[in-house]
Amino acid sequence: MGEQGSVHPERSKQSVERSFYEWLKGLERAQVLVVSHVRPDGDALGAQTAMAQILKLFHIESVLVNEDAPPRRFDYLPGYRDMRRSVDTPLPGAPYQYVIFVDAADRERIGKALSLLAPEAEIVNIDHHATNDHYGHINLVKPEASSTCEVIYDWIRSTRLPVSVELATCLYTGYITDTGGFRYQNTTPKVLRDAAELVQFGASPYEIAEHALEAISWEKIKLLQKALATLKLFASGKIAFLEVTQSMLEETGTTLDDAEGLVHYGLNIEGVEVAALFREQTDGIKVSLRSRRAVDVSKVAQQFGGGGHVRAAGLTLHMPLDEAKRTMAETLLTVLHHVPLS
């Protein structure tokens, strides 16, 4: 990104937080585009809708856009109905001069929504991916945070802005989804304290969990049956592969989003170190990687142009399914060979 308005790396986190605050202060009555990654998850949507609540406090109008429609299970989020797809027309005010990216490790992660940016757009990049490449003019990036919603909540604390029930609900959604219901390794004492505060502010843990994590459609159960039938172990039970093909989606009346989370059925098998879910998409094979302990799957994903976190990462391979599985098998076998496993 251009240097103008960018924050010097040697300045402290506090001043990045301040820069974002000042930027918002200067945008009263302007319109700001808030975007996130393709096939948005709970953290992406929680962060986008949280940002809409925050922009309201600054008298800024927000336009929330993604390449893909938000899954229905998140329809309790305040602002859910105002979310637009990048293919929708007309989008009021496009192309946009002021843009906030949330939960997107790089610019390209927002997919076709990238076409909505004005050529010299000012970009704020709020994220927690270890692989984030600091593409913004202002980069509020904390790889140690459990979720982008945690990065936003930390920023709110630094500003002393009020936290409404609506804002707490949006933020809690990012915490609960990106920590798998406070179970993954990113669940720290701070995360649990933050969550308790958000509940104090009015977020409903039961209702949010029921919508965002528990509710499951009959169609998705049918997809689960088919995906589990493909589950295979190799490398002495240390690697698990499973797949979701286009025909499985057609036969069960599901969409790619319904395959979200299936990779955990592989990872949760005793003895498995790395699990991969292969999803057949129109533009290639989307691979979701999960690691139990020893393997840094964000590095594996980066080798193929993807990214993510140490224990959860993703990438797309532009090749047929069989070749994609062979490629990942070879790569993961090599990686496993080089890490110490107790």
The correct pick among 67, 103, 166, 260 for binding Mn ion (CB under 5 A) is 103
Q: Is 166 in the site for Mn ion (CB under 5 A)?
A: no
Taking a C-beta distance cutoff of 8 angstroms, is the pair 173, 212 a contact? Answer: yes
Q: Which of 45, 47, 60 is nearest to 97 (CA)?
A: 60
133 phi/psi in degrees, rounded to 5: -105, 20
In the complex, minimum distance from the CB of residue 308 to ligand AMP, in angstroms, rounded to a whole number: 3
Q: Decide if residue 43 touches Mn ion (CB under 5 A).
A: yes
Q: Which residues contact 227 (CB under 8 A, 6 or more apart)?
A: 242, 243, 244, 248, 259, 262, 265, 277
Closer residue to ligand AMP in complex, CB, 166/178 = 178
Structure tokens that stand for 80 in this block = 């859910």
169 binds, among ligand AMP, Mn ion, none (CB under 5 to 8 A by kind): none
Size of the site for Mn ion (CB under 5 A): 7
The SS3 of residue 248 is helix
Min separation Cβ 4 and ligand AMP, Å: 27
Tokens 């893909």 belong to 68
243 binds Mn ion (CB under 5 A): no
Q: Is 127 in the site for Mn ion (CB under 5 A)?
A: no
Write down the residue that tokens 């602002």 correspond to: 79
DSSP letter string, 87-128: T-SPPTTPSEEEEEEES-SSGGGGGGGGGGEEEEEEEEEEE-
Cα(29)–Cα(31) distance, rounded to whole angstroms? 7
Axis-axis angle for helices 42-57, 165-178 (nearest 10): 160
Least Å distance, CB 131 to ligand AMP, is 6
Write down the least CB distance from residue 320 to ligand AMP, Å.
19
Structure tokens at 213: 């994590």
Letters for 174-203 (x = contact with Mn ion by CB under 5 A, - = none) are ----x-------------------------
**In the bound complex, what is the minimum distance in angstroms from residue 290's beta carbon to ligand AMP?**
7
* 308 contact, one of Mn ion, ligand AMP, none, CB 5-8 Å limit per kind: ligand AMP
C-alpha to C-alpha distance for 92 and 339, rounded to whole angstroms: 51
**In terms of CB distance, is 53 or 148 closer to Mn ion?**
148
| CA distances in angstroms from 89 to 37, 85, 95, 162, listed in the order given | 20, 9, 12, 34
Q: Which of 17, 24, 41, 163 binds Mn ion (CB under 5 A)?
A: 41
Q: Is 17 in the site for Mn ion (CB under 5 A)?
A: no
306 binds, among Mn ion, ligand AMP, none (CB under 5 to 8 A by kind): ligand AMP
Chain residues binding ligand AMP by CB under 6 A are 37, 105, 109, 129, 131, 288, 306-309, 312-315
User: What is the contact surface with Mn ion in residues (CB under 5 A)?
Assistant: 41, 43-44, 103, 147-148, 178
